Structure 1
Amino acid sequence: MTAVLDKTPARLPARESARFRHLLIAEWIKLWSLRSTCWVLGVGALTVIGINVNSAASNADRLAHRSLMPPEPPPGGPARPEPLFDPLHTAFVDPAWQLLVIIAATVGGIAVFGEHSSGLIRTTFAAVPDRQAVIAAKVTVVSAVMLALGTLVSGTSFGVTQMLLREYGGLSLGDPGALRAVAAAAVLAPLCALVGMAVGAAVRHAAGSIVTVIALLLLIPALLQGERYRWVKEVGNAMPLSAWERLVTNPERAHDLGKYPLTITEAWIVYGAWITAAVAIALLVVRRRDV
C-alpha cells in the first residue's frame, strides 16, 4: 500500500499535461458531430472555388475572342480602349470570398452559441471548471479546421484559375504578390471564424450572433468606403475585408488605391489585431459571464 501511494504523486503531472489534449479531442468531436458542419464547409468550399473558376473561364473566353478581333479600329471609327486584365483578381473574386467570410464566421459562432442554446455548456463547465481552457481548445480546433479550409480553397482557386489563364498571363506562386495573396486569403477564414466565436460568446443567440457578425464583417466595411473624410476611410481600412483586398492586390498591375490606402504591413497588422481581439474577447466573456 505504501508503494502504491508513493507512486501516485509521480503520475499527477502526466495526467495534468494530457488534460488539454483531451479538451481538443472533445471539441473536435463536437465540431464534427453535426452533419451540417460537413455540408456547410464542403458545399461552401466548392461554391467559392466554382465562382472563381467560372470567372477565370469567362475571362479566358473573352480574351480568346478579343484576340480574333482586328487589332486596329475601322477608319474614322472611335479607338477601342484596351482593358487592363489582372489574372490574379480572377482567383479572388469579391462575391466568392465574401461568401467564405459568412461561412467561416457562422461556423465559428456555432461552435460557441450552439452549446449555449442546447444547454450543453453547463455539462461542459461542470466537467471542466476551467472555462478559459475550454475556450482555448475551441479556438485551437476551429482555427486549425478553418485554416485548412482556407488554404484548400485559396490554393485550389489560384491553381485552377491561373491554369485556365496560362495563355493570357496566368501567374505562378513565384510571381510578385501571388504567394502573399494566397496566404492572405487562407488566413481570412480562421480570422472570420474567430470573430464569429467572439460574437457568439457575447450574444449567445443563433440569429443575433449571425446577423451581428455579418454586419460587422461585411455591412460596416461597405459603409466606410468613402474618401471625403479621412477618418471614415481610416476606420474602413481597419476592417478585415479591407485588409484582405489590399493583400490580394496584384503589385504588377496599375491599380488605383485611392486616397489614404493601406500599406502591406498595415494590412497584416489589421489581421493580427482582429485575431488577437477576437480571442481575448471570447476568453474574457466566458470568464466574466454566468452560463
Structure 2
Amino acid sequence: MALTDTQLERYARHIVLKEIGGAGQQKLMKARVLVIGAGGLGSPALLYLAAAGVGTIGIVDDDAVSLSNLQRQIIHDTDNIDRPKTESAAEAIARLNPDVKVDLHSVRLTAANALDLISQYDIVADGCDNFATRFLVSDACFLAKKPLVSAAVGPFEGQLSTFKPYAQDDSGEALPTYRCLVPEAPPPGSFPTCETAGIIGALTGVMGSLQALEVIKEISGAGTSLAGKLLIYDALDTRFRTIRLKRDPKNPLNGEGARITDLAHHA
C-alpha cells in the first residue's frame, strides 16, 4: 500500500531510519497485534504501538479503571474511573492515532477462548499480572505459532523476553517457551502482588516501552530478536543484564499432540 501524505508526515521519523524505512512502516500498518492487559505494562505498550502505526490492535482486559491504577496505568485518566479498561484505552488510542483499528475483547482469557483469540493476530504482547494467564498465553502462542513478547515487573525490577518456540536458533535447537523460564506457577500466596508489595509507577513505563519496541522489531525485521534471551532490569541499581534461555526438555510442550486444555492444567 502507498502511504498518504499525512502518513508520510506522521511516520517521517520511522521512514528515515534505514532499519525501518517505508517498507517497515508498511509492515507495521498491516500488522495485527494483540495486547493482553491494559494495565501498567499494557498502557505504554498500547500507546507506543498506536503511535508507531500498527494497523490493528486487539486489547484483552475484563477489568475496570480504578483510582489506584492511575499511578502507573497512563493510558487511563481520572474521568475514566469505573469504566472498562478496554474502552478507556481505545479512546486514548483514537485521540493519538485515529488510523489505528482497535478490537476490544472485554473478557477474561481462558482455555476455552485463548487459542481462537490469539490465532486472529500476528503477534502477542503479554502484560498480564498473574502466572496462570502467562502460561495460558504462552501455550496458545506455541500452538498457534505466533511470536510472544512477554514482560513482567516487581516493585523495582522487570524482565522481558520474546518467545518463538515453534522456531529454531542458529544451531538448529528449538527456542524456549515461557515454561522453560518458569516451569510451574508458585503456590498461591507465595508471590507478592503489586497490591501487597507495591510498585514504582515509572518502572512499568520502562518495561512496557521496551515491550512495544520488541514488538515493532519483530514486525519490521529491524535489529536482533530477543528470542532465546531474557532481559532483566534492576531499577534501583539502574542496571540491565541479558541471560540466555534454553529449551527445557521437560517442557510439556515437547509432547506430541499437546492441547491447550491439557497444558493449562500444568499452571
Name the TM-score class by shorter chain. Answer: under 0.3
Rg comparison, structure with higher value: 1
TM-score, normalised relative to structure 2: 0.24
Highest relative contact order (Cα 8 Å, sep 6+), 1 or 2?
Answer: 1
Looking at secondary structure, tell me which structure has more strand per residue: 2
Looking at secondary structure, tell me which structure has more helix per residue: 1
